[in-house]
Structure formats: structure tokens, C-alpha cells
Amino acid sequence: MKTDLHAPLREDVRLLGELLGDTLREQGDAALFETIENIRKVSVQGRGEGRVEMDALRDLLTALDDQQLLNVARAFNQFLNLANIAEQHHRERLRRHQQDFNDSPSAGASTAHGMAEVIQRLRSNGVADDEIYDCLTTLSVELVLTAHPTEVTRRTLIRKYDNIAELLGQRERSDLTAEEKATGIESLRRLILSAWCTDEIRRQKPTPVDEAKWGFATIEQSLWYAVPTALRELDAITEAALGKRLPVSCSPLRIASWMGGDRDGNPNVTASVTREVLCLARWMAADLYLRDIENLMADLSMQAASDELMQYLGGTTESSYEPYRVVLRQLRQRLRATRVRMEAMLNGKEVPAQKWFSCREDLSEPLLLIDRSLRECGMATIADGDLRDTLRRLSCFGVSLLSLDIRQESSRHVQAVDAVTAYLSMGSYQDWNESQRQAFLLGELQSKRPLVNQGFFDSEYCTDDVAEVFATCRTIAQTDAGALGAYVISMAHQPSDLLAVMLLQRESGVASWMRVVPLFETLDDLNNATETMSALLEIDWYRDKVSDGQEIMIGYSDSAKDAGYLAAAWAQFRSQESLTALFARHGIALTLFHGRGGSISRGGAPTRMALLSQPPGSVAGRIRVTEQGEVIRFKYGLPAVAVDNLAQYMAATLEATLAPPKAPTDAWRAEMDRLTETSVAAYRGVVKDEPELVRYLRTVTPEQELTRLALGSRPARRKQDAGIASLRAIPWVFAWTQIRLMLPAWLGTGAALQASLSDSARQPILKEMIGNWSFFQGAVDMLEMVLAKADPIVAAYYEQRLTDDPALLALGSDLRQRLHDCVETLAAISGDKNLLANNPVMQWSIKVRNPYTDPLHLLQAELMHRHRQQEGSNATLDSALMVTIAGIAAGMRNTG
Ligand code: PGA
């Protein structure tokens, strides 16, 4: 690591750590501080010498009572959160200094792959300027904020952490006076104290509406500013590089959401919740535009206006004096009316009959009129100011703030259609085979008469679950199409799954279809995706319905949970490749929607690597991608960081479209097939066939304890059984991350790579793939990163503390041996014993955290042990346990 470059990061971590130490000393009794310091020193010293001081640490911790354990856990948790803030701030600092700081060794410098550099590179590779410009003007990057329960930190604390980050930023100024410096330190001290005195654990499960409000807060506090800034920068870069500006209507960025719309496995998301969230979003949008318009009213005091504008105003005296303000005043009135209308709807009151903004054009047209007038009257510089920002916001956020997706699981639709066929005495849809189902659905879709009447809804066939599916579709029917995004069908298996949702929408009176998007998320479903879609495209009626384009969602986490990381990644790659070819053959535009989680096991990857790992041709200027939980905070929580992440998305999408990565050779494909065959067998051999795995998971990891953490509004399981199949991907990965075994990320992949490496015929191909194929290189980099966070000694400690069952201990030692082998294999591949040798910052970040996470792991195991010995609940133990979970998540920089 270049000392000069990263020294400020170390300095910030040291400063925040010291201030925390002072706080603890002042707040706690001196003995507590001594204990914490002792634990920290033992831990730091151990790690410094390459050991984990398990015995010494355990002796220190077991001597403490429950309350002391809670305080110690809180202290280490706090430190890790402070380290995260410093690191986050360091990213911003490096961005300003145009330096590389990327999570992945070969993802490359974010700045070297910034928009200006990408355009430059494309031009020097012979891509014509017009082609670049056309691609930029039609680029579409849509970020879908999901309600996925992975954010452990309370909003109350996030606010304090953001303030700390801001203060760190202020300390960088070179012109600070001594007093300002001292005031800055005092403010930091105050914030750290107030964080220390705040409960870090969310005590109540958020409701889906709370979740939606968190999403809105990210827009209000950050994206509302970041989006126009990112577009302003893009415009300037385009003009400098290509000599042309982007049209103001150009909207490469869009925001969508699942918060309050995703009902898959979440009974708390009902039709009325969705309606409430839709109203709240419109209210928020109106409120934000109101602030914009009031600001413009203050600024646009000019008199000169175009004839067009004067005609619009009808030539009153007032309008000839300050014409822009007159237009803006009208808009202000209408925005206020929109807010009032939404409030009335939210409170179930009568809706006042006033003009409101129901669509984007209502607001953008008058603003564009002002824009044209200003330009015509020689005030283009003014038009290019805040007015542009508002217009750009309108193209991104519209008047509904975001577009809301709906997601429901395929079996719920089957159940709903089955209720209808049973009611109509036609038999059981559920029992029909696929061709019978298709024939029925297509017949009904093409018929003009309605399928059911009120009698059905009053009948016993219409159970609560069925009624809810219909109620959701009715909500869609009552909602302005511009406020809605995709209807995503999770666990989509076959063509009828899509047709069923089309029929349910039609039956509910949906006039303008909500586009139906299958989510393919098991290995089999990914492998069959092209066949499924091809069967649909063979149907004239269907092909006609999607002639404007089809969207397909690829599920990263569930496929990895089903088949292991490598096999899932290859299945995702191949299905995207063949879907791309299929839709190209039919001349229908395809948008791939990537359901990536935050952590590696759930498909998480740095932006550029993620995009350049896609098969050539599959990006085609359009990308839709989920952003979840803590990732939303890390990537979009602060405006400056958000600008950078938005810019990276746009640059990488342009690059992946116009300079797509190489397609794999036949030899690479064959090797991938061999690798994934070994990998699936090894993965499933443990996850599906190992009889003790469920017991190991429930005994050694905090899987059960996690369900008590009020993370999100949805349950941890789809069904109430103890098996792995019904456990959602998030808690599955989360549990393994907490004990640092990281099983889902490497199990199977390690064995597959090892088999290839030890075969002299395969080894050269493997090396060639690593050196030349971005997809494979990315997968290996990701593996390396996760292995650097894995720690078999920590995992072994949990085992020792929590079980003496020989079968579980034997399984644990087998798993740790496999982890060890995987690390060795990777070292052999990279030729460096040291994982992450070429990513020193990441290495440093893990190193600096370990002495703080070690005590948390030990504490967690101790607390789990004490907890399980007791009958009934113990609030202190419970809290301490939750704090360790949150602290380890902070230490890993993701929950799992
Ligand atoms: P899902 O997502 O369980 O909602 O499909 C899983 C994930 O993001 O890991």
C-alpha cells in the first residue's frame, strides 16, 4: 500500500477509535474501560502475531456477567461502525483525488473506468462518435431499491454516522482555523457519545410502510441531488468528448422500488399497503418538487419572455411583469393540490376536486416552456442552472417518485386460477399439465367475456390468499401506469406462470398491462429459461403482446443457494446468452433484470465487474438491477458517493454495450461444464444430502437467533419448517457469515477448481480462462475476496462452545478442511499465498477489523451458549446477542 495515499484513512480510524475510548472512559466505570482495553490488546496482539487468542480471550470474557458482556459487545460494535464510516469517507476522498479504491483486485480503478475514459477508449478502439452518442442518449440504467432485510443499522444511527462522515470531510479542508479544528473534534465527540447512548438494536419489526419510507428517505436525502449532478457531469463529459450535449429529455437513470410492492413470502405486504405506499410516494414527489419550484420562483424574476410563453399566460399585466413567476406560481398551486389529494387518500377522506399532477408531462411541459423562453431571450446560462436539474429529476423520478414493482410467487397465482376453475366446476387447474393450463389461459385471454363474477368472490373458493392476489391486481387497475414498474413472478417455472398473471390482470380490469416479468431463480429454471420463453414466443398472441420488449429477471441468490456459487454463475451466464440470442432472432428488445444481493454469495459484485461479466450482447444499453439493504446505504446514502456510483453504472453499461467482453471459446465452455458438474455434486452432496447439516446450521450458527432480529418486515422462511429449502437465501448466507465459515460462497467451487488444477490437461485451459475471460476472472476474484473474510479458527470456536456432539464436530471439521483446501487451491492459482495480495486496502481493512470482530465472535458463541442453557427469555442476553450480530455484520461490511 502506498503509505501516503491511505495514511488519512488510518488517521481517521485512529481518531474515531480514540474518541470512542474517551467516551467509554467517561461513561462507563473505569473497570469496564479497563476490561475492554484488555480484550482489545490481547486481540490486537494475537492477530499481530498471526494468531487468534482464543483461550486468553475466552478467559477474559467468561469471567464477565451478562450486563458486562452487553457493554463489551456494544463497544466493539461501535468501533466497527466507526471504521466503516472512515472507510466510506476514504472512498470519497480517493474519488476526489482520482485514485483507485475498488473492492476487487482486478475490477480496476473506478476512475480509470469513468465515463470520460470509457468514451476515450471506445473511440480509440474505432467506435464511431455517433454510435457512442446514440448509445448514451438511449442508455437506461434502472436501479430497483428492494425491501430486502439486510440492513441491521437503525436509521437513527445512520443519521449520526452520516454526520460523522461529514465532519471527517470538513477536517480535510486546508484552511481550517485552530478553533474550527477544535470545534470539529468536539462535534465528533458529541456524535460518538450520542451514538453510544442510543440503543443500536431495532426493537420492533419494521412494517412494509416503514421500509418504503426508508427508501423514500434515500431519495430525499441523497438521490434527489445525486441524480441531476451525475447527469450534469455526464452531459459535460459528452460535450467535451463528442462536441454535443445530451437532450434534456435524455433519462439514462431510473429508480424503481420493491418496498411495499414485494409480497413474495411476505404476508405483511397487502393490497392496501401497496395503495398506501403509492400515495406516500406521490406525496413525497410533490413535496420535493414544491421545494424545487419555490427555489425557481425565487430565482426566475426576469421579465423578458418568448411570445410562446406570453401566449400561454394570456397576456395579463402581472404576467408581463414577472412571467416566469406566474407560471411557477400555477405549478406551485397544483403541487400543493397534489399533496392535499394524497393526504386525503391516505386518510380515507373525500378527495378535493382540484387540478393535480397525475403525469410527468403535466409538470414538464410548462417547465420546458420556461426553458425555451429563457434560451430564446438570451438567458441560456440561467436555463442551464437549477431548472435543468428539476427537468432532469422529472425524467428520472417522474411525478410518482419511483415506479413500484409488484412481486408474487408463481404458486400463489396457480392457487388463484385453481380457485376459479374449481368455482366454475371446470376441474382443478393445479392438477392440469402444462399444455392444458396453457390452452385454458390462452383461450380465456383471447375471449372477451369475463371469467368470474361477484359470485366467485363471495364463494368459499375465494380464500383469503386468493382474494389478496385479486385485490393486488385491482390495485394495479386503479393505479396510473406511470407509477408502476414490473410484475415480477418469483419461482417462475413455465410459460403458464406468465400467462396466468396476464389473465389475473385482465380479470381485474387492468387496462394498461403491468409488464409481466418472470424471475428464473433455481438451477433448473435458469437452464430451462430459454425453452420457457421460446414456447411463449411461438404463440402469436403472446409475441404480439411483447412486441415492444420483454424483461426477464435473473435470480442470483436462490440459484446459488440451490446449486452453489460457480454452477449458479455459469447457469446465469448461459441462460442470459441464449435468451439474448432468442430475442434477437425474434427482433424483440430484451431487458435483463439482475436480482443481485449485496454479498458475494448472493451475486454481489463491484459494478463494472458485474457488467463486464455478462455475456456479450446481453447488456445492449439497458440494465435493471436490484440494490438492497446496507448496499443502498453504502452506495447511495451520501450524495457524493451516490454520484460516483451512478456514474460507474452508466459508464460500465456503455462499455459493456459497445465493447462487450469476449465470448468464451468452446474449450472454456467445456471446461466450465466440467467444473460445474464437480461443483454442483460437491455442493449438493453437503447442502442437500448431508443429514447433519440442518442440525449443524441450527446448533453452531446463530440461524435461529437471527429470526429474532427485527431486520425486515418479512419472515425468514417461506414455510414454517426447519429445512434448508424453505429458508430464504438471506438468512442462509447471513448465518454462515456470522461464524465466518462463508460456506455458500465457496462450497463446491473450491473442489471444482482443485480438480481442474490437478489435471495436467485441464490446467492450461483454466489458467487461460483466468487470464482472458472477464466472467471467470470475476468469479475467481470474488472467491478470493470472500475467502479473505472466512476464518476457520473462528468457526471452530463456535463448534467447541456450542456442541459436543461427535457427528456435528466431525461435520464441522470436514467443512473446515474443505475451506482450507479451497484457500490452498486459490493460492496455487494466483501463485501467492497471501489472499488479496493485489488489493492492499481491502487486506488492510480486514486486518484492522479482525481484533474487533474476534471478541464479538467469542462473545456471540458465549451468549448463544448461555441463552440456550436458560429457560425463558433474558432481555440483557438477548440484547447482547443482537449487538454481536449487528457488530459482526458491520465488521464484514455486509450481513451475508
Ligand atoms: P429473495 O432474495 O429471497 O427475495 O428472492 C434473496 C436475496 O436477495 O438474497
Q: Write out pLDDT tens, residues 726-760.
A: 899 999 999 999 999 999 999 999 999 999 999 99
Q: How does DSSP classify residue 481? A: G
Scan for cell 480496476, then name that residue. 108
Taking only the tens place, the pLDDT of each residue in 792-829 is: 999 999 999 999 999 999 999 999 999 999 999 999 98
> Would the pLDDT of 462 be above 70?
yes
pLDDT reported for residue 538: 97
For residue 662, indicate whether it is catalytic: no
Taking only the tens place, the pLDDT of each residue in 754-795 is: 999 999 999 999 999 999 999 999 999 999 999 999 999 999
Are 2 and 86 in contact, with CB atoms under 8 Å apart? no
pLDDT reported for residue 629: 85
Looking at the DSSP bridge assignments, the partners of residue 727 are 717
Are 214 and 250 in contact, with CB atoms under 8 Å apart? no
- CB atoms near residue 442 (< 10 Å): 18
Q: How does DSSP classify residue 621? A: T
Are 615 and 577 in contact, with CB atoms under 8 Å apart? yes
Instruction: Look at strands 253-257 and 403-409 and give their pairing.
Output: parallel
pLDDT reported for residue 832: 77
Least confident of 231-240, 369-378, 548-557, 600-609: 600-609
Scan for cell 406462470, then name that residue. 497
> Percent of the chain beyond pLDDT 90?
75
pLDDT reported for residue 873: 79
Identify the CA nearest to 766 among candidates 834, 837, 830, 838.
830
The span from the CA of 690 to the CA of 693, in Å, is 6
**Dihedral in degrees, nearest 10, Cα atoms 301, 304, 307, 308:** -40
Please give the grid coordinates belonging to residue 588.
424483440
pLDDT reported for residue 498: 98
507 CA → ligand 1 middle, Å? 29
> Would the pLDDT of 710 be above 90?
no
Q: Concatenate the DSSP letters of all residues of 280-342 into one string.
A: HHHHHHHHHHHHHHHHHHHH-------HHHHHHHT--HHHHHSHHHHHHHHHHHHHHHHHHHH
Indicate whether residue 561 lines ligand 1 (CB < 6 A). no
Helix (H) or strand (E) holding 155: helix 155-171
Taking only the tens place, the pLDDT of each residue in 85-116 is: 998 888 788 777 764 444 433 333 344 568 99
The span from the CA of 131 to the CA of 202, in Å, is 50
Mean per-residue pLDDT over the chain, rounded: 92
Where residue 895 falls among pLDDT bands split at 50, 70, 90?
Answer: low
CA atoms within 13 A on the CB side of 768: 14
pLDDT reported for residue 318: 66
149 CA → ligand 1 middle, Å? 9
Indicate whether residue 596 lines ligand 1 (CB < 6 A). no
Scan for cell 457427528, then name that residue. 807
Indicate whether residue 407 lines ligand 1 (CB < 6 A). no
Burial class of 831 by CB neighbour count within 10 A (0 to 12, 13 to 18, 19+): exposed
Among 556, 561, 599, 728, which residue has the most ligand 1 atoms within 8 Å of its CB, making it the best to mutate? 728
Please give the grid coordinates belonging to residue 326.
406566474
**144 three-class SS:** strand
pLDDT reported for residue 105: 34
The span from the CA of 25 to the CA of 32, in Å, is 8
Indicate whether residue 405 lines ligand 1 (CB < 6 A). no
pLDDT reported for residue 153: 85
Indicate whether residue 522 lines ligand 1 (CB < 6 A). no
Q: Concatenate the DSSP letters of all residues of 870-891 into one string.
A: SSS--HHHHHHHHHHHHHHHHH
151 CA → ligand 1 middle, Å? 14
> Would the pLDDT of 203 be above 60?
yes
pLDDT reported for residue 279: 97
564 CA → ligand 1 middle, Å? 15
pLDDT reported for residue 317: 64
Burial class of 330 by CB neighbour count within 10 A (0 to 12, 13 to 18, 19+): middle
Of 625 and 846, the structure prediction assigns the larger pLDDT to 625
- Among the listed residues 148, 213, 635, 857, the single catalytic one is 148
- As a three-state string, the secondary structure of 740-774 is CCCHHHHCCHHHHHHHHHCCCCCHHHHHHHHHHCH
Q: How does DSSP classify residue 431? A: G
User: How long is the chain?
Assistant: 896
pLDDT reported for residue 745: 94
**645 three-class SS:** helix
Are 531 and 499 in contact, with CB atoms under 8 Å apart? no
Where residue 4 falls among pLDDT bands split at 50, 70, 90?
Answer: low
pLDDT reported for residue 641: 87
Identify the CA nearest to 513 among candidates 542, 490, 537.
542
Looking at the DSSP bridge assignments, the partners of residue 887 are none
207 CA → ligand 1 middle, Å? 18
Among 730, 734, 736, 894, which residue has the most ligand 1 atoms within 8 Å of its CB, making it the best to mutate? 730
For residue 2, indicate whether it is catalytic: no
Are 828 and 758 in contact, with CB atoms under 8 Å apart? no
Taking only the tens place, the pLDDT of each residue in 677-705 is: 999 999 999 999 999 999 999 999 999 98
End-to-end CA distance of the chain: give it in Å, rounded. Answer: 27
> Would the pLDDT of 267 be above 70?
yes
666: left (phi over 0), alpha (psi -120 to 50) or beta: alpha
Number of helices (H), then strands (E), in the chain: 41, 8
Indicate whether residue 597 lines ligand 1 (CB < 6 A). yes
> Would the pLDDT of 497 be above 80?
yes
Helices 639-658/115-124 angle, 10° precision: 20
Where residue 346 falls among pLDDT bands split at 50, 70, 90?
Answer: very high
486 CA → ligand 1 middle, Å? 17
Are 893 and 103 in contact, with CB atoms under 8 Å apart? no
pLDDT reported for residue 836: 76
The span from the CA of 270 to the CA of 413, in Å, is 15
Are 105 and 781 in contact, with CB atoms under 8 Å apart? yes
Among 266, 558, 562, which residue has the most ligand 1 atoms within 8 Å of its CB, making it the best to mutate? 558
pLDDT reported for residue 106: 35
**Dihedral in degrees, nearest 10, Cα atoms 672, 677, 680, 683:** -100
Indicate whether residue 881 lines ligand 1 (CB < 6 A). no
**594 three-class SS:** strand
Mean pLDDT of 612-625: 95
> Would the pLDDT of 706 be above 70?
yes
Least confident of 62-71, 316-325, 881-890: 316-325
Indicate whether residue 266 lines ligand 1 (CB < 6 A). no
Indicate whether residue 729 lines ligand 1 (CB < 6 A). yes
CA atoms within 13 A on the CB side of 15: 20
